[in-house]
């Protein structure tokens, strides 16, 4: 009931009561007429909603792109199609021409601000289009669409849901580190290969990436094509990597850590190496290396793993997850796998579990620091470096691309 309807109904009751009290029939008639007007408006609205639901069969919704990415705008198209044949063509067209359509969306999808929609009306169809500005990773509700109806007197209104709501997936924001990730893997190859002489059987050539061994430059092809090319073999070019995520408990820090881990993993994947993301509650035993079957599918699977990640219930739970992840990664590190960790300041138990990974010389770590954890983060970095890791502290305000580039140019994180 609108404010007008409340006013008319209240006035009708008061006037009718006064008419009865004053024994004035005309006042009673006026009061009853006003009350009946509200009842008629209600009956009108009920019949209008019922006829609308019988004419409109369903609603189609399309979200582009799907899934969305935090910080990257998207778009939604909601279409109502009333066509069911030619029998009630004029009725259906009339219904869609006068529809007032809107849709509900979570604040995490709209950025907490109102959205401006455009409406396109066709032959028995109505399409609502509006933009989304997702701000947080996760799964957020979108819909249902609401059709606003009212009576001719403006005393009653209704928002009728049409279609089904859905949960829209939002991937974390990522930073392109593909160039520096290639240098990371190149440095790991030099640790393993040492002074190995390039084989004359190396027939595959690729563009030079920062950190590649200069002994593998194919000078003849580079001079001919005017760009630096290096030989690559299957063993050196497909070295796998594992990214270990130790999730913080603070919401903003958690999103930064997930974004950093996903950026590193995707960039390693884009540089042509299989990668896996473990920790943070991901079932480590069920996770396999991605990138062995195809790039786009691997990116999709990896980012999907991050959507439902959440903060640990307690620090002891996080430590237990990290110890399991370190044990799994240690087995593969002994066979040449590269390890990158996005870590919190570590307990002694967690630090001891990560020590064996540094023995291979192919382990890097970013340890998150903050005003209250600076001393613990520095202690963790010192412990990792003593074990052979290349480690540094970083805060959520640091630029990840600049940090990663500085690390690789120096040969270690300082």
Note the pLDDT of residue 195: 37
The rounded mean pLDDT for the chain is: 81
The percent of residues above 70 in pLDDT, for the chain, comes to 80
- β-pairing, 229-232 vs 204-207, is antiparallel
Lowest mean pLDDT among 144-148, 230-234, 287-291, 389-393: 230-234
Segment 103-151, tens digit of pLDDT: 889 999 998 877 788 888 777 678 889 999 999 999 999 988 888 888 8
Euclidean distance between CA atoms 311 and 254, whole angstroms: 7
Q: Where in 7-71 does DSSP place strands (E)?
A: 58-64, 68-69
Segment 319-372, tens digit of pLDDT: 999 999 898 888 778 777 889 999 999 999 999 999 999 887 788 899 999 888
Lowest mean pLDDT among 48-52, 313-317, 392-396: 48-52
3-state class (DSSP) for residue 109? helix
Euclidean distance between CA atoms 300 and 286, whole angstroms: 17
Q: How far is CA 224 from the centre of its chain?
A: 44
Q: pLDDT band for position 181 (50/70/90)?
A: low
Instruction: Please report which helix (H) or strand (E) contains residue 348, including its range.
Output: helix 348-354
Residues 125 and 79: beta-carbon distance below 8 Å? yes
The label of the residue with tokens 């109806």 reads 149
Note the pLDDT of residue 26: 92
Euclidean distance between CA atoms 237 and 218, whole angstroms: 16
**Mean of the pLDDT values across residues 227-242?**
68
* Predicted TM-score (pTM) of this structure: 0.78
The label of the residue with tokens 């084989």 reads 199
How many residues would you count in the chain?
414
Segment 193-223, tens digit of pLDDT: 443 434 444 445 667 766 566 767 878 778 8
């Amino acid at each position: 009931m609108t404010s007008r309807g409340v006013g008319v109904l209240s006035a009708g009751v008061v006037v009718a009561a006064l008419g009865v009290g004053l024994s004035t029939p005309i006042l009673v008639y006026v009061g009853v007429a006003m009350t009946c007007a509200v009842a008629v408006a209600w009956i009108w609205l009920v019949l209008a909603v019922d006829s609308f639901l019988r004419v409109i069969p369903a609603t189609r919704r399309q979200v582009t792109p799907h899934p969305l990415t935090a910080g990257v705008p998207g778009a939604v198209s909601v279409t109502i199609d009333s066509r069911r044949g030619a029998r009630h063509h004029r009725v259906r067209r009339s219904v869609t021409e006068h529809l007032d359509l809107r849709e509900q969306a979570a604040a995490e999808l709209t950025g907490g601000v109102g959205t401006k929609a455009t409406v396109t009306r066709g032959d028995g169809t109505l399409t609502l289009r509006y933009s989304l500005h997702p701000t947080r990773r996760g799964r957020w509700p979108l819909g249902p669409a609401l059709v606003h109806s009212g009576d001719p007197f403006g005393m009653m209104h209704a928002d009728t849901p049409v279609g089904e709501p859905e949960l829209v997936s939002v991937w974390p924001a990522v930073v392109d580190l593909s160039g520096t990730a290639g240098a990371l893997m190149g440095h790991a190859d030099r640790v393993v290969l040492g002074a190995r002489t390039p084989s004359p059987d190396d027939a595959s050539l690729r563009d030079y990436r920062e950190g590649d061994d200069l002994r593998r430059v194919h000078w003849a092809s580079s001079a001919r094509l005017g760009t630096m090319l290096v030989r690559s073999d299957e063993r050196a070019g497909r070295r796998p990597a594992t990214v270990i995520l130790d999730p913080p408990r603070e919401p903003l820090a958690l999103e930064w850590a997930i974004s950093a881990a996903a950026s590193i993993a995707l960039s390693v994947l884009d540089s042509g190496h299989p990668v896996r993301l473990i920790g943070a509650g991901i079932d480590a035993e069920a996770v396999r290396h991605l990138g062995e079957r195809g790039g786009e599918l691997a990116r999709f699977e990896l980012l999907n793993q991050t959507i439902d990640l959440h903060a640990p219930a307690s620090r002891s739970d996080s430590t237990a997850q990290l110890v399991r992840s370190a044990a799994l990664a240690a087995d593969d590190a002994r066979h040449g796998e590269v390890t990158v960790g996005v870590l919190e300041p570590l307990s002694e138990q967690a630090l001891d579990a990560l020590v064996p990974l540094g023995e291979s010389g192919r382990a890097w770590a970013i340890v998150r620091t903050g005003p209250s954890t600076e001393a613990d983060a520095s202690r963790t970095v010192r412990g990792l470096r003593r074990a052979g890791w290349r480690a540094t502290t970083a805060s959520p305000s640091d630029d990840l691309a600049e940090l990663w580039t500085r690390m690789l140019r120096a040969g270690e994180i300082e």
